Amino acid sequence: MLIETKNEKRKTKNGRKTADLLSAVFRFSLFAFHCLLLTGCGTPSFLITPVQNVASLQEVTVAKGKGREKIAMIEVEGMLMNAKAGGFLQPTENPLSLFTQQMNQAARDKDVKAVLLRVNSPGGTVTTSDAMYEIVMRFKQKTKKPVVASMQEVAASGGYYVALAADRTMAQPTTVVGSIGVIFSTFDFSGTMNKIGAQANSIKSGPLKDMGSPFKNLTPEERAVMQGIVDEYYARFIDKLETHRQMPDTSLRDTITDGRVFSGQRAKELGLIDEVGLLEDAIKVTRKMVDAPKASVVMYKRPYGYRGSIYAETNVPEPQMAGEQNVTKLELPGGPWLPTGFYYLWNP
């Protein structure tokens, strides 16, 4: 009788612990649910996967073929900057560093017969866009392997600049192509500061040391200097365009190079690209160029990356809000504004 009583007490105690644990889990879940509602989010799913912090790239096959021959598909996506992107609970990556590493891996692999650039970018900084262009040109010169560019949603400004280095370019009929030009953006908060009684003072070594500062107006001399740099970078863009594309007559040339964008179909008519087609068509063209009709298509990814198909995104996109255009959404460092600098960028 005594044994039964102890067992009953032990069962009662264990039952209370289980109930307390379930109650705590329920309260935490309810708290998390209310927090999500307050932030305007829906009911998400969380997947936390522990991974090794390694610098190596894994080769992932995204289109199977037969034999050893391969085509390396390399992304030119998002904001092109020589800076790390990512954040809390997200992998950080420098787009220029990753691109360089991927191109080097394609160059070393004797089974890789060609590179297919999957371009989906509105551009970025002048320096990074130019560096990626030069990397592609040196890759072709060193390896003698052809490069094809397939443009997706957007291939504008710096994104188009990089694609110019390809031996063949293709875009979808609705791809946004063009925005040939340079932009320098700065802000002028001097009027606001005057209203609140604030003032910025600079101790400088020369009269133009703080040109472009958001705390004062641009002087005519400063504007002339900035315009000179913009004109220099613009001339560099036009030089690349003339090197790789057959430019039309003068009147049409002015239209092409005034900074506007075109659809992929119109870009084909203007001679900005070679062909109109989907990514699958670009793969067929690349295979034909290297006489490897059964070549596999591979991508180079960090171990934490997942790629399910040739169209798989670098990051999972956020749902589009009503009224948003179907174009690349940029999450720029430092907030919604561009850091001050010179850009080959389409930023409507």
Q: Which residues are catalytic?
A: 157, 209
**CA dist 4 to 13, 17, 18, Å?**
14, 20, 21
Using DSSP bridges, classify how beta strands 58-63 and 296-301 pair: parallel, antiparallel or unpaired: antiparallel
Contact 118, 77 (CB under 8 A): yes
Query: Which residue, 182, 272, 159, 184, is CA-closest to 234?
Result: 182
**CA dist 340 to 178, 184, 333, 337, Å?**
22, 7, 11, 9
Q: 3-class secondary structure for 65-83?
A: CCCCCEEEEEEEEEEECCC
**For residues 53 and 39, what is the distance between their CA atoms, to the nearest angstrom?**
31
Contact 172, 264 (CB under 8 A): yes
Q: Residue 198's Cα: distance from chain center in Å?
A: 38
Query: Which residue, 143, 122, 147, 120, is CA-closest to 133?
Result: 147
